Amino acid sequence: MKKIVLLGATGSIGTQTIDVVNHHRNEFSIIGLSAGHNMKKLSELLEVCPDVKYVCVARKADMEEMQKMYPSLTFFCEDKGLEELASLSDYDIFVNAIVGFRGLLPTLSAIKNQKVIALANKESLVAGGPLVKAALKKYNVPLYPIDSEHSAIFQCLQGSHADEVDKLIITASGGSFRDKTREELKDVTVAQALKHPNWNMGGRITIDSATMMNKGFEVIEAHYLFDVPYDDIDVLVHRESVIHSMVQFHDHAIIAQLGTADMRLPIQYALSYPDRLEMHNAEKFDFMKYPALHFEAANTKRYPLLGLAFEVGRKGGNLGAVMNGADEEAVALFLQEKISFLDIETYVIRAVEAAVYIEHPTLQDLIDADHFGRAFVKDTWKGVVE
């Protein structure tokens, strides 16, 4: 029985993790989880997660109210509570499925606590890649990716050696606006942006998919996860989202991982590795539904944030934290209909250009870089509206 602490339980990845666990109760048990502000959803999850003993919520007022409703549980709150969950002793796997820079510190705490890491929090590697890699090595802790693309690469690499890899090929759907020109993007709406053609995801990640910022983040993640140079990482737009990513080897063989658009597969693989468990209540892949698969190069002129991510990744330092912080704030402004879709790119690029570069940042440097990226976007927007 593997005991799990799950951050981000009320989100898409979190609820699907709970579904996997509940289909394999002889294998897994969730003993701790975090939620943000949705207390109704949290109460529903506690009904289907009978082994939970520890809960973290975003606000102190919610914590006090929930404590009255569930007196037998131990509650934490705010970002400090996430680190306290990660630092618990009586669990085996740490699943980080929260969105944003605030996921970095709990990841580092869980690594220091020598727990197996199942990671869906991109920012842990985008903003803190060198620190996370150093901590994994220091504490001899494994990290298994939950993102479908990185899980696909991880699966393709099984039985191979790192020095046999020629390149990684990360696939991308192209997002909500893949058939629109740059000119047509000027007037797109939030509702249009949230209609992803293939996946059902949260707000920020859906917008990041449309700008391809998300794919840029995945390039940086892949670099840190698999120790592959940026020059050996390609991005292909693959509309069907059937091939989740590929690995090309020195002998020119390419191994691809295929499957339906179901995030429970990479979640379950990360939890059960090196074993494969039966997938319940899921559609099996049917080749007859996909008589043709399509691929095209990801154009960085069409998707400038993808190009920015490659530049930031190659330079490293504190710029990943700046880029991510700026993107979080710019996407939030767009979702609030305060800026246009194309403004997201402008704000993020300008924030990175304005940042003071630190080649070997400390944790505090990364926290400061995150704050800088956010403040730059907020201040820029206020300057425009005022």
CB 332 within 8 A of CB 379: no
29 is in an annotated binding site: no
Angle at 223 between CA 267 and CA 368, to 5 degrees: 95
313 is in an annotated binding site: no
160 is in an annotated binding site: no
Structure tokens at 224: 């840190």
10 is in an annotated binding site: yes
Structure tokens at 198: 């293939």
214 is in an annotated binding site: yes
281 is in an annotated binding site: no
26 is in an annotated binding site: no
Nearest to 56 by CA among 68, 71, 44, 66: 66
345 is in an annotated binding site: no
Structure tokens at 120: 């869906």
Quote the CA–CA distance of 341 and 193 in Å, as a whole number.
8
User: Sheet harboring 74-77: ordered strands across?
Assistant: 74-77, 54-57, 28-34, 2-7, 93-96, 116-119, 143-145
Quote the CA–CA distance of 330 and 353 in Å, as a whole number.
15
Beta strands in 37-195 (DSSP E): 54-57, 74-77, 93-96, 116-119, 143-145, 165-172
209 is in an annotated binding site: yes
Quote the CA–CA distance of 31 and 19 in Å, as a whole number.
15
Tell me if residue 65 falls in helix, strand or coil: helix
Which amino acid is present at 345?
E
φ and ψ of 165, to 5 deg: -80, 130
Gyration radius of the chain's alpha carbons: 20
123 is in an annotated binding site: yes
196 is in an annotated binding site: yes
202 is in an annotated binding site: yes
Q: Which residues are known binding-site members for 1-deoxy-D-xylulose 5-phosphate?
A: 122, 148-149, 173, 196, 209, 214-215, 218
Numbered residues of the known binding site for Mn(2+): 147, 149, 218
Binding residues: 10-13, 36, 38, 121-123, 147-149, 173, 196, 202, 209, 214-215, 218
Known binding-site residue numbers for NADPH: 10-13, 36, 38, 121, 123, 202
